[in-house]
Amino acid sequence: MKLHSQSQENSDDKIIWQQFLSGDVAAFEKLMSIHFRTLFHYGCKFSKDQEFVKDSIQDLFMHLWEKRNRLNAEAVVKPYLLASLRRLMHRSASSKSWVGEGQPENAAEVFDLEFSVEEQYIDTESTLVRTRQLEKLLLELPKRQKEVIYLKFFQELTREQISEIMAVSPQTVSNLLQIAIKQLKKHWKAEFLTFFVIHLFI
Amino acid sequence: MDRYQNFTVEDFVWDSFFRQWVLSPTSETDKIWQEWLEKNPESRLKTEQAEGIVRALRLNEPQISDPEITRIVKETMGRIETAEKYPSFEEPATQRKVHHFPWLRAAASIAFLLISAWIIYSLSNKKAAPEIAVNAPIIARQAGLIEKLNASQKPMTVVLEDGSKITLAANGRIRYANKFVAAKREVYLEGEAFFDIAKDPERPFFVYSNGLITKVLGTSFTIKAYGNSNEVTVEVKTGRVSVFPESDPALNQKTSSPELQGVVLRPNQKIIYSREEVRMVKTLVEKPEMVVAKAEIPQFEFEDTPASEVFDTVGKAYGIEILYDEELLKDCPLTATLENQTLHEKLFIICKAVESDYEILDGQIVIHSKGCKN
């Protein structure tokens, strides 16, 4: 069912996308409305300046409209939009620092995730500790691994789509993902074991 | 499903299919997992723990409200529209960037001068007055009109029997009835003219120009309708003016109603009507002037005045609606004297001081602000 609804989403996207390419303003407005929140969430990982993120999304759509004649009619919409926003933000962040204004933190160098632990879903203390530990480990991951984890598990994108967004090969995506998960599991076990041992002795 | 037999808690946590079942289960996935758990009861403890972790570990996404999204989307659509219909009002984003490159501005000015020079040159080469371009059927119905053509290079003023004054620019041509009949005053214009219309709500005044009808009750405004151009612009100085295309399906109702209908223009607003594409763009005149009487012109001296109040004062003086987010601007105090500047200079200074931008949208001014944190 999940898979069904996703492909349903995709085909809706595709219809709107092609209407937009033929110059339909209403379809274009719909396209922007549907994807705005996802793009905003993704963009905020690269910059804390929410207004900059909003401006970037606006710029992105203005560019899309201008070059609609040259866009690929078969593009998979969501990954394409995410990829375009990523490129645009990295480009404008580097030109910002080139001009000498803007923050020293380069958008290309951060990928900020923020988690919270909702305790009502947890019934044992050991699970709570495990969850907190996992949160810490996630935040410590290098930024590219974090981004892969985000796109894979929180945006539910495929390996190929992630590779398009991050402009790396699908193999690199798999590698990054594997390293990240290995890291999360390995440390987690070790930490959990120490915690457990300490508890035994207390 | 066999591969799940040796899964640890953390393996489950990072398994897409498992997460999918936990976070958005469907009857199909639920059936698969329940059946599997019945056959593998020893895994139940692990999946329960993993489920707790998957559910509990929330990714915090930044909040953005639906109205905010709608606002930005609408704004973007507006920009696209203005950029397409009237390229000189390109999106402020580009304008902002241009400020960083003074040579670009210089280049743009030179390009502008060259284009202006070319336009003036090509216009002056067409001295032979082109065929009058007002709508033929209406002309045919109105035989026996007086025609005035300003063949000189100086403005020429024509006074109508109702006291209205029409100032024709060079090559401007009007036709009108010697005596206005019934409930209408009608004038056909080709070229450019400034109208100062005597007030008479009983007899609305109509100007027909290149397919556009301008209806007024008593006011002053300029119309530019050159025969060799498909565009008509109407700029309002005082009062209110309504405009609609001759092709309007509700034309009869609009011309006969005593109220102003169609697109209503207020002082300092301007409309550009393009006959070929049947569309109208409302914007502001290039140099808006104050609309209040001399004695009522405010001081424009502000001391620690909230920016929202400053915008209100300016907007009132120019009779232009200035839209802003009150919540954001109430903490932005401004100290400035803005007596001798044009409207655009005033806005530029105010916006600079309170870290905002402004944009002309549909004949109004929209302030984009991020608020003042300090």
What single letter denotes the amino acid at residue B116?
S
* Domain end position, chosen among B126, B157, B173: B126
Task: Provide the residue range defining the domain that includes B163.
Answer: 136-284
What is the pLDDT, as a whole number, of residue B93? 44
Residue B289 domain-assigned (yes or no): no
Identify the residue among B6, B16, B61, B366 best suited for mutation to test binding to A, counting A beta carbons within 10 A and taking the highest: B61
Residue B193 has pLDDT above 80, yes or no: yes
Q: Are residues B34 and B119 in the same domain?
A: yes
Structural tokens at position A74 = 């078969």
What is the pLDDT, as a whole number, of residue B133? 39
Residue B120 domain-assigned (yes or no): yes
**Predicted-complex ipTM score:** 0.82
3-state secondary structure of B301: strand
Q: Produce one character per residue of A123-138: b if its CB has 16 or more CB atoms within 10 Å, e if not.
A: eeeebbbbbbbbbebb
- The domain ranges of chain A are 3-102, 113-201
Q: Are residues B9 and B147 in the same domain?
A: no
- Burial group, residue A56, by CB count within 10 angstroms (0-12, 13-18, 19+): buried
Residue A202 has pLDDT above 60, yes or no: no
Instruction: Encode pLDDT of B314-334 as tens digits.
Output: 988 888 888 888 777 877 888
Cα distance between residue B356 and residue B352, in whole Å? 6
Q: Tell me, what CATH number does B331's domain have?
A: 3.55.50.30
Q: Of the candidates A72, A73, A30, A36, which has an alpha carbon nearest to the alpha carbon of residue A56?
A: A36
Cα distance between residue B36 and residue B4, in whole Å? 9
Q: Within 13 Å, how many C-alpha atoms sit on residue A164's CB side?
A: 15
Residue A116 has pLDDT above 50, yes or no: yes
With a CB-CB cutoff of 8 Å, which residues 67-96 of chain A face chain B? none
- Contact predicate A73/A21, CB 8 Å: yes
Cα distance between residue B78 and residue B72, in whole Å? 10
- How far, rounded to the nearest angstrom, does the alpha carbon of residue A187 sit from its chain's CA centroid? 24
Say if B56 is an interface residue toward chain A (CB within 8 Å): yes
- Contact predicate B271/B263, CB 8 Å: yes
What single letter denotes the amino acid at residue B60?
N
What is the pLDDT, as a whole number, of residue B358? 86
Q: Are residues B149 and B278 in the same domain?
A: yes
Q: Tell me, what CATH number does B250's domain have?
A: 2.60.120.1440
Q: Which residues of B touch A29 (CB under 8 A)?
A: 73, 77
Top pLDDT among A170 and B143 is at A170
Q: Is residue A155 within a helix (H) or strand (E), and if so which, with residue range?
A: none
Top pLDDT among A74 and B362 is at A74
Please, which pLDDT band fits residue A57 given cuts at 50, 70 and 90? very high
Top pLDDT among B153 and A199 is at B153
Top pLDDT among B261 and B248 is at B248
What is the pLDDT, as a whole number, of residue A189? 65
pTM of the entire predicted model: 0.48
**Which residues are CB-neighbours of B183 under 8 A, at least 6 positions away?**
B202, B203, B204
Which range is least confidently modeled, A127-131, B119-123, B213-217?
B119-123
Q: Are residues B73 and B167 in the same domain?
A: no
Please, which pLDDT band fits residue A96 given cuts at 50, 70 and 90? low
Which range is least confidently modeled, A15-19, A148-152, A160-164, A193-197?
A193-197
Chain A nearest CA to B263, separation (Å): 22
Residue B213 domain-assigned (yes or no): yes
Residue A173 has pLDDT above 50, yes or no: yes
Q: What is the CATH number of domain A113-201?
A: 1.10.10.10
Instruction: Encode pLDDT of B275-317 as tens digits.
Output: 665 566 777 888 888 887 777 788 888 888 888 888 988 988 8
Q: Produce one character per residue of B238-268: b if its CB has 16 or more CB atoms within 10 Å, e if not.
A: bbbbbbbbbebeeeeebbeeeebbbbbbbbb
Average pLDDT, chain A: 82
Under 8 Å CB pairs connecting chains A and B tally to: 116
What is the pLDDT, as a whole number, of residue B134? 41
Q: Are residues B271 and B305 in the same domain?
A: no
What average pLDDT does this structure show over B158-185? 85
Residue B374 domain-assigned (yes or no): no
Structural tokens at position B300 = 């424009």
Residue A29 has pLDDT above 90, yes or no: yes
Q: Are residues B248 and B346 in the same domain?
A: no
Residue B191 has pLDDT above 80, yes or no: yes
What is the pLDDT, as a whole number, of residue A188? 65
Q: Are residues B142 and B62 in the same domain?
A: no
What is the pLDDT, as a whole number, of residue B342? 87
Q: Are residues B360 and B274 in the same domain?
A: no
Question: Which residue on chain B is closest to A129 by alpha carbon?
Answer: B53
Cβ–Cβ of B58/A152 closer than 8 Å?
A: no
Average pLDDT, chain B: 79
Say if B161 is an interface residue toward chain A (CB within 8 Å): no
* Domain end position, chosen among B126, B146, B178: B126
Instruction: Encode pLDDT of B93-144 as tens digits.
Output: 444 444 455 566 667 677 777 777 766 666 555 443 333 334 433 443 455 6
What is the pLDDT, as a whole number, of residue B211? 81
Counting the structural domains of chain B, the total is 3
Q: Are residues B254 and B334 in the same domain?
A: no
Q: Within 13 Å, how many C-alpha atoms sit on residue A115's CB side?
A: 22
* Domain end position, chosen among B264, B284, B304: B284
Q: What is the CATH number of domain A3-102?
A: 1.10.1740.10
Cβ–Cβ of A117/B58 closer than 8 Å?
A: yes
Cα distance between residue A187 and residue A138, in whole Å? 11
Residue B305 domain-assigned (yes or no): yes
